[in-house]
Amino acid sequence: MYNSLTNRRSFIKKMARLSAMAAAASMFPGILFASEQEDGIPKGANLDWKKGPCRFCGVGCGILVGTENGKAIAVKGDPNSSVNKGLLCVKGYHQTMCIQSKDRLTHALVKKNGTYVKTPISEALDIVANKMKDTIATHGKDSVAMYTSGQSTIPEGYVASKFMKGAIGTNNLDCNARLCMASAVAGFLTSFGADEPMGCYEDIDHADYFITWGNNMAEMHPVLFSRILEQKSRRGSKVIDFATRTTRSSTASDRSILFEPQTDLALGNAICYEIVNNGWVNKSFIEKHCNFSKGLTKMGYGMEDKYKFKDKPEKIDFDQYKAFLEDYTPEKVAKYSKVSVKDIKYLASIYGDPNKKVMSLWCMGVNQHTRGTWMNNIIYNIHLLTGKISEPGNSPFSLTGQPSACGTAREVGTFTHKLPKGVVTNPKHRELAAKIWKVPVEKIPSKPTYHTTEMFRAVDRGDIKFIWTQAVNPLVSLPKTSRYRPAMKKESCFVVVSDVFPTPTSDVADVILPASWHIEKSGLYGNSERRTQHWDKMVEGPGDTTPDAWMFIEVAKRMGYGDLFPYSKENHVEEIYNEYRQFHEGKKHGMAPLEVLKKESGAIWPYVDGKSTQWRFNAKYDPACSNGKDFHFYGKPDGKAVIWQRPYEPAAESPDSEYPFWLNTGRVIEHWHTGSMTRRIPVLHKAMPHAYVEFHPEDAKALSIRNGEKIKVTSRRGSCILPASINERGLPTKGQVFVPFFDENMMINDTTLDAFCPISKEPDFKKCAVKVEKA
Amino acid sequence: MPIKSYLAHPHDNKKVELLTALSALEECEVMPATNEDVLVLVTDTLDDASEELLKAKIEKIKSLKLLAMVSGFNSPQNQQ
């Protein structure tokens, strides 16, 4: 890795400081050092501070980037941002350090006779356009695909959708938010008919209890977690960590309750059982505002190619739901969940207490789950049964992972089934898209095609002949990369990769396009609390680097679609956003005008009459409520939310005598996803230089494994060698190992399983069976 | 040329006093946590003897409850 620091002594001091900060973080999860942000600012520097959102994670902290002579010199938290109130985490402070990395992709590279040749960007875009056009002419429009990102900006996602669905006429567009947020989306749509949280971060200031479901916020959402800890210390709020692994979040919580992987389904139902059978149901709320439904069960796990599933919802009544819950008494569930009856009752009593405000928070543990949609439904069930929803402090809050998984992937709709408003299967939604895009409505196909896993299976089968990826590194982040890496190397598919740095994905590309980094272009992101944030370009990118949106537009023009993309190079972000806003006009999803977003540190949609709507569906706060009642779940035609009957079903693969350990994968605070950016930031790379496999000390002792010893982790799909970690960062439960996935040199996803939730199509990265042995 | 880092824990309600006292020492760089009662301290001294003297001075500060070393580096002069 490139070390940009030349003064060794100041570097050592920085490392010493970072070591102490890391030690402090292990003792005080969520600890923040505001003065760190001033570090590195040269004395006497005359910096021009420009506002924007952070590049890493879905919290959406406001940042101020100090520039001088065209270079980004420093980053600090934006004190005007209500998200982070001037604070940042360790990734946030150091984010701009990666852009000067020596191996930055500065020019297009085209593979000729097996070697990459530096090529002018206009020539490379000619090659991409011609190849795409020829492939469509020979094999049809569904032979080309695009795979984008929750790190793409709103204009980038919008142009990608318009290009693929409106201009070319294929739904072969999906994004990496399928790997992290699809179950959240499916949960919202099935329970409420409208995506994204009803509450906002201000809920933190009102809640009495925070229950985190499989969610290590201290490392993944550190600034929000620090806000929670502040409430714990100031108001005596309680934090309950409910998970399968002991983490920094657990140690900072009032209680840590551990459960057996996959049994969260049963435990959620057991909490509902207790609520119903102890008379804690808010009867008036459910009578006025809720329906009960059940869907199909035993759906399978999608492990076979071309797997199809369509749920068949059926209305039930409260008594049927109550009878269903009889299978989930605390006594029955305690037997297989490894959570005591007392702890199940304790959790239920928190939700059941009418005088306590409860915030549930979750992210990948619930979403990356073969029954992820069901898990989201079950958490909403708990809040709906008790009426603890859509009001300050009573909030089921699905956190998002990427900076614009909400703004771009979910709101613009860079999924195969989505349009900027609604879904491709709805004729009215297609008509609206056709009108705004100025294309014939029949151009937009009415059937979804490939979700992410199936898209890469189609590459492997040879059905997809051309794929273009942007701001994404699927050959590290997909499950079962042991199948998809060889697939992407096949001659049958032409691969175009647009990125900022070389990655294992760009290693297999036929054309590599040099993308602008976040602050080298203007853009907009949308965070977890429906907040849209704008930034202006802050510095010039090196060489031929170009914003992804502009590369799409240039290719579209070369393919003959120029009249659909009449944007100017200088002002395309503004022009695209103004066009996109038309999709969401109205009280239910109105987006703030750009002039407001330029001035303020973001605004929450629905933005109505110059105001952000902080709590949706509650008539006191949401002007879109129109049923004359106190709550209106207007995403559903009858204005009622749905309480779903969702059973416990086992994981797609469980430990057995041959593969006796659960494998859980995840992230660490120092690195963002696959590490392509953060591993190029020296302080972060040195703080966490490589991945590891975490053991429970008793398992390590039984296997005579010592800390640091090389261990081979093997599943039915592949293997990976990593050093053992015992009693260090985290503590898995006995019979479980944990591996972070950021390290491209230790590819744990070669071993993971590409089983997914049949409703959301989101893979489960948290549960498969492995064996471990000394390497 | 030792460089060492510590976590300095103040007595109750003495964080500001501790910050002031440590900041007054030339060889010390101090960074207080924003939301916890702890300070990161980095010391940069000429040699082991100076380091020992400094540590003795620090340990005499009344607002200091506990000083816990986290890391120690020794940077040869020719690598400065």
The domain spanning residue A690 has which CATH number? 2.40.40.20
The total of structural domains in chain A comes to 3
Percentage of chain A surpassing pLDDT 90? 87
**Residue A423 sits in the same domain as residue A539:** yes
A621 has pLDDT over 90: yes
B74 has pLDDT over 60: no
Q: What are phi and psi of A604, to 5 degrees?
A: -90, 130
A45 has pLDDT over 90: no
B78 has pLDDT over 50: no
Task: Return the minimum-mean-pLDDT range out of A46-50, A120-124, A440-444, A485-489.
Answer: A46-50
Q: Answer whether A27 sits within 8 Å of B34, measured CB to CB.
A: no
Strands ordered across the beta sheet of A358-362: A255-258, A238-243, A209-213, A358-362, A395-398
From A71, A188, A198, A55, select the one nearest A676 (Cα to Cα).
Answer: A55
**In a domain? residue A648:** no
What chain A residue is nearest to B7 in terms of C-alpha separation? A20
**Residue A554 sits in the same domain as residue A689:** no
DSSP A196-256: S-SS-GGGGGT-SEEEEES--HHHHSHHHHHHHHHHHHHH--EEEEEESEE-HHHHHSSEE
Q: What is the pLDDT of residues A623-642, one digit of tens each?
A: 999 999 999 999 999 999 99
How many beta-carbon contacts under 8 Å exist across A and B? 82
What chain A residue is nearest to B1 in terms of C-alpha separation? A9
Give me the amino acid identity at A427.
Answer: P
Q: What is the pLDDT of residues A233-292, one digit of tens each?
A: 889 999 999 999 999 899 889 999 999 999 999 999 999 999 999 999 999 999 999 999
A235: Cβ contacts below 8 Å, ≥ 6 apart: A208
CA dist list (Å): A31 to A21, A88, A228: 9, 10, 11
A689 has pLDDT over 60: yes
pLDDT of residue B79: 30
Q: Which of the listed residues A48, A81, A100 is the one where a domain comes to its end?
A: A100
**Alpha helical stretches, state H, A247-340:** 248-252, 264-277, 283-289, 318-325, 330-337
Q: What is the pLDDT of residues A721-767, one digit of tens each?
A: 999 999 988 999 999 999 999 999 999 999 999 999 999 999 999 99
Contacts of B6 in chain A (CB under 8 A): 20
Three-state SS at A100: helix
Q: For B75, which of A8, A27, A226 is closest by C-beta distance?
A: A8
pLDDT of residue A43: 64
pLDDT of residue B73: 60
**In a domain? residue A459:** yes
pLDDT of residue A86: 82
From A217, A306, A293, select the one nearest A253 (Cα to Cα).
Answer: A217
Q: What are phi and psi of B42, to 5 degrees?
A: -120, 125
Task: Return the minimum-mean-pLDDT range out of A62-76, A137-151, A691-705.
Answer: A62-76
**In a domain? residue B79:** no
Residue A624 is encoded by which pair of tokens?
Answer: 């879109």
A4 has pLDDT over 70: no
Q: B26: domain range?
A: 10-70
**In a domain? residue A479:** yes
* A91 has catalytic annotation: yes
| Local confidence band at B75 (pLDDT 50, 70, 90 cut-offs) | very low
Contacts of B71 in chain A (CB under 8 A): 15-16, 19-20
A132, A164, A181, A363: which is the annotated catalytic residue?
Answer: A181
pLDDT average, residue stretch A546-575 = 98
CA A235: distance to chain centroid? Answer: 30
How far is it, in rounded angstroms, from Cα A286 to Cα A270?
Answer: 19
Residue A625 is encoded by which pair of tokens?
Answer: 């409520």
| Local confidence band at A75 (pLDDT 50, 70, 90 cut-offs) | confident
* A401 has catalytic annotation: yes
CA distance A11 to chain B (A): 10
**In a domain? residue B61:** yes
CA distance A93 to chain B (A): 14
User: CA torsion angle for A461, A465, A466, A467 (degrees, to 10)?
Assistant: -10
Handedness of CA A127, A128, A134, A135 (dihedral sign): positive
**In a domain? residue A507:** yes
* A364 has catalytic annotation: yes
CB A535 within 8 A of CB A522: yes
Contacts of B29 in chain A (CB under 8 A): 13, 17
pTM of the model: 0.90
A41 has pLDDT over 50: yes
Q: For B3, which of A13, A30, A87 is closest by C-beta distance?
A: A13
pLDDT average, residue stretch B56-77 = 78
CA distance B78 to chain A (A): 10
Q: What are phi and psi of A63, to 5 degrees?
A: -120, 155
How far is it, in rounded angstroms, from Cα A651 to Cα A257?
Answer: 20
pLDDT average, residue stretch A428-443 = 98
How far is it, in rounded angstroms, from Cα A428 to Cα B17?
Answer: 66
Looking from the CA of A466 toward its CB, the CA atoms found within 13 Å total: 21
A595: Cβ contacts below 8 Å, ≥ 6 apart: none
**In a domain? residue B43:** yes
* A587 has catalytic annotation: no
Q: Is A577 exposed, middle or buried (0-12, 13-18, 19+ CB in 10 A)?
A: buried
Partners of A316 in the β-ladder: A292
Q: Which of the listed residues A46, A68, A100 is the one where a domain comes to its end?
A: A100
Q: For A20, which of B5, B75, B80 is closest by C-beta distance?
A: B5
| Local confidence band at A1 (pLDDT 50, 70, 90 cut-offs) | very low
Q: What is the pLDDT of residues A152-188, one digit of tens each?
A: 999 999 999 999 999 999 999 999 999 999 999 999 9
Q: Answer whether A17 sits within 8 Å of B38, measured CB to CB.
A: no
CB A719 within 8 A of CB A684: no
A10 has pLDDT over 80: no
**In a domain? residue B62:** yes
Q: A731: domain range?
A: 661-774
pLDDT of residue A7: 58
H or E, element range at A482: helix A481-489
**Residue A428 sits in the same domain as residue A514:** yes
A324 has pLDDT over 90: yes
| Local confidence band at A687 (pLDDT 50, 70, 90 cut-offs) | confident
CB A192 within 8 A of CB A511: no
pLDDT of residue B76: 40
**Residue A512 sits in the same domain as residue A417:** yes
Task: Return the minimum-mean-pLDDT range out of A477-491, A675-689, A703-717, A747-761.
Answer: A675-689
* A37 has catalytic annotation: no
Q: For A32, which of B6, B33, B41 is closest by C-beta distance?
A: B33
How far is it, in rounded angstroms, from Cα A147 to Cα A151?
Answer: 12
Q: B-contacting residues of A 81-100, CB under 8 Å?
A: 87
A6 has pLDDT over 70: no
The total of structural domains in chain B comes to 1
Q: Answer whether B41 sits within 8 Å of A20, measured CB to CB.
A: yes
pLDDT of residue A11: 66
CA distance B37 to chain A (A): 10
Q: Answer whether B32 sits within 8 Å of A226, measured CB to CB.
A: no
Query: In A145-167, which positions are buried (b, 16+ CB within 10 angstroms) versus exposed (e)?
Result: bbbbbbbbbbbbbbbbbbbbbbb
From A602, A599, A619, A603, select the one nearest A611 (Cα to Cα).
Answer: A603
CB A691 within 8 A of CB A740: yes
CATH of the domain at A70: 3.30.200.210
Question: What is the pLDDT of chain B when averaged over all its residues?
Answer: 85
**Residue A61 sits in the same domain as residue A158:** no
CATH of the domain at A546: 3.40.50.740
Q: Which of the listed residues A41, A69, A100 is the one where a domain comes to its end?
A: A100
| Interface check B3 vs A, CB under 8 A | yes
**In a domain? residue B3:** no
Q: Answer whether B35 sits within 8 Å of A230, measured CB to CB.
A: yes
CA distance B54 to chain A (A): 17
A226 has pLDDT over 90: no
A32 has pLDDT over 90: no
pLDDT of residue A39: 59
pLDDT of residue A248: 86
**In a domain? residue B51:** yes
A2 has pLDDT over 80: no
H or E, element range at A695: strand A693-695
pLDDT average, residue stretch A332-344 = 98
Question: What is the pLDDT of chain A when averaged over all its residues?
Answer: 95
* A402 has catalytic annotation: yes
| Local confidence band at A380 (pLDDT 50, 70, 90 cut-offs) | very high
**In a domain? residue A61:** yes
**In a domain? residue A455:** yes
Which residue out of B5, B46, B78 would a mutagenesis test of the A interface target, given it has the greatest number of A Cβ atoms within 10 Å? B5
**In a domain? residue A651:** no
pLDDT of residue A309: 96
CB A497 within 8 A of CB A469: yes
pLDDT average, residue stretch A708-732 = 96
A57, A61, A180, A299: which is the annotated catalytic residue?
Answer: A180
pLDDT average, residue stretch A465-493 = 98
Residue A80 is encoded by which pair of tokens?
Answer: 């005007």
Q: What are phi and psi of A394, to 5 degrees?
A: -105, 100
Q: Which has more pLDDT, B2 or A700? A: A700
**Residue A417 sits in the same domain as residue A538:** yes
User: CA torsion angle for A257, A260, A262, A267 (degrees, to 10)?
Assistant: -50
| Interface check A33 vs B, CB under 8 A | yes
pLDDT of residue A30: 67
A430 has pLDDT over 80: yes
pLDDT average, residue stretch A575-590 = 98
Contacts of B79 in chain A (CB under 8 A): 8-9
Looking from the CA of A653 toward its CB, the CA atoms found within 13 Å total: 27
**In a domain? residue B59:** yes
**In a domain? residue A193:** no
